Amino acid sequence: MERLWAPWRLEYITQEKSGGCIFCEKPLAEDDRANYLLLRGDHAFVLLNAFPYNNGHLMVAPYAHLSELDELPHETLVEMMQLCQETTLALKLALHPDGFNVGFNLGAAAGAGIKDHLHLHVVPRWGGDTNFMPVLADVRVVPQSLERSWQELREAFRKVREGQ
């Protein structure tokens, strides 16, 4: 039997869960690094997914606790798409993906893990990321720690904002 070691996951597994909404709580906290928050806008923010589908899996979420796309005020919707655009640019700079999956999972039936606070997923993709591991072993390999991803992406967002 093959074993994949991921000792950094133990902290998540054993930590006490707040029961609150991460998209409401994380932006209120003062430590963006600890919360993997990468960029703050006026109406929305960008953060790393703590349980990524792929390395560099980011989410764009509004500060407002809303579950329906048609509930978003126009300025929030526009800013979310602007942040999504900056997110793809930052990911290109930092990780050089071959493509992206971008989208909302609205409602539990659509696969939303957190259905009460809508958020936009931006998942970088590479030609080889759909290899034998998920197909045969139902295991996904994420080759970089969240901390290292946060450091590299924070710098990439700075460059995007500065127009580099």
Higher model confidence: residue 18 or residue 147? Answer: 147
Q: Distance between CA 122 and CA 47 in Å, rounded? A: 10
In a domain, 116, yes or no: yes
pLDDT above 90 (res 111): no
For the chain, how many structural domains are there in total?
Answer: 1
In a domain, 140, yes or no: yes
> CATH number for the domain including 37?
3.30.428.10
pLDDT above 80 (res 147): yes
Residue among 120, 121, 116 nearest 65 (CA): 116
What is the structure's pLDDT at 72?
Answer: 96
Q: What is the pLDDT of residues 4-42, one digit of tens each?
A: 455 555 555 566 656 789 999 999 998 999 999 999 999
- Domain limits for position 63: 21-162
In a domain, 9, yes or no: no
Give the pTM: 0.79
Q: Which residues belong to the active site?
A: 119
pLDDT above 80 (res 143): no
- Confirm if 22 and 114 have CB atoms less than 8 A apart: yes
Residue among 46, 38, 56, 47 nearest 126 (CA): 56
Q: Distance between CA 92 and CA 76 in Å, rounded? A: 24
In a domain, 113, yes or no: yes
**pLDDT-above-70 percentage for the chain:** 78
In a domain, 16, yes or no: no
Residue among 70, 134, 123 nearest 100 (CA): 123
In a domain, 95, yes or no: yes
In a domain, 156, yes or no: yes
In a domain, 78, yes or no: yes
Q: What is the mean pLDDT of residues 135-149?
A: 59
Q: DSSP assignment of 8-39, as one string?
A: THHHHHHSPP--S-HHHHHHHSS-TTTTTEEE
